[in-house]
A and B are shown apart, each in its own frame.
Chain A
Amino acid sequence: MWLNPTYASSHSFPFTLLSIFTFRPDMRDIIDRSCCQTYAEHIGDASACWKSVFLNHFTMNFINDWLELLYIHMKIHDVDGKAVEATVRNQKQLIWTKFFVRVIGIVPTFPLIIFDDSIRQWSLNFPQPFQFIIGNLAKIFTYVMILLLFYIDFVFDTFPKFYASIKGFLQPDDEPVAVKED
Chain B
Amino acid sequence: MFGKVSLLIALLHTLMMTYITVENPVNQDSMITVGYLGMVIQSVKLLYNGFKYASLTARSTGDEKKKSKKLHEMSMFLLYVKTIRGSGTIRISAWLLRLVGQFLS
Contacts and interface: CB of A to CB of B under 8 A. Distances in A.
Interface residues of B, number: 40
Interface hub of A49, A63, A67, A87 (most chain B Cβ within 10 A) = A63
B101 A45 contact: no
A55 B29 CA distance: 14
A56 B81 contact: no
Contacts of A78: 70
Contacts, number: 128
B73 A146 contact: no
Contacts of A88: 70, 74
Interface in B82-105: 82, 85, 89-90, 92-94, 96-98, 100-102, 104-105
A75 B51 CA distance: 20
20 contacts: A27-B104, A28-B105, A32-B97, A34-B94, A48-B29, A52-B97, A53-B29, A55-B97, A60-B89, A64-B81, A68-B77, A68-B81, A72-B74, A83-B63, A84-B66, A84-B67, A91-B71, A146-B35, A147-B38, A149-B38
